Amino acid sequence: MEIREAALADVSALVALAARTFPLACPPSLSTESIERFIADNLNAESFTDWIEAPTTRVTVGVVDGVVSAYLVLIDEGEARFVSKCYAAPEFHGHGLADALLNEAIEFATARDAHWLRLGVNKANVRAIRFYERHGFVIVGERTFTVGDQIESDHVLELALTSA
């Protein structure tokens, strides 16, 4: 397993992985059409290229046997870093790949004097909530998140960081 910063050469693999993994995090209330529209509009080659090239965004990948199998998108918001995306291929759930990505993001943010990591997760995604709570995140609020033409309710979670 290798954890590294994404490169433009990873874009097509990231698009394919996002199309596989995003639906797994969606609640049953979301229609297939809304999920497909979100993927087409937000998890496309242009989006990943923009994130990789943006100076305020860091895309990290988990590579297993030469294949991009997980990714995390971290956005600089000043005193906080926002974990916009954190997904692993289902065959690697429970194998430590997402843990390694999140730990790298925590180290990266801490080294840059961020005070918090924040993220949103659908209230129905119990597995993801437990994953983040294992890493010390706590629920601090709520937000809405639009997928296609449907509005979902998310928890906002936060992790207080200690500067290096």
Cβ 70 vs Cβ 103: under 8 Å: no
Instruction: For residues 5-25, give the mean pLDDT.
Output: 97
Q: Does domain 2-114 have CATH number 3.40.630.30?
A: yes
C-alpha 112: how far from chain center: 19
Q: What is the pLDDT of residue 94?
A: 86
Where are the strands (E) in the chain, listed by range? 2-5, 57-64, 67-77, 80-88, 116-122, 138-147, 150-160
Q: Using a pLDDT cut of 70, give the percent of the chain over it.
A: 99
Q: Which tens digit of pLDDT belongs to each residue from 109-123? A: 999 999 999 999 999
Query: Which tokens sit at 31?
Result: 């229609």
Task: Read off the pTM.
Answer: 0.93
Instruction: For residues 78-92, give the mean pLDDT.
Output: 95
Q: Which tens digit of pLDDT belongs to each residue from 31-80? A: 999 999 999 999 999 999 999 999 999 999 999 999 999 999 999 999 99
Q: How far apart are CA 6 and CA 40, in angstroms?
A: 20
Q: How confident is the model at residue 163 (pLDDT cuts 50, 70, 90)?
A: low
For the chain, which residues make up each domain, given as ranges? 2-114
Q: Which tens digit of pLDDT belongs to each residue from 135-144? A: 999 999 999 9
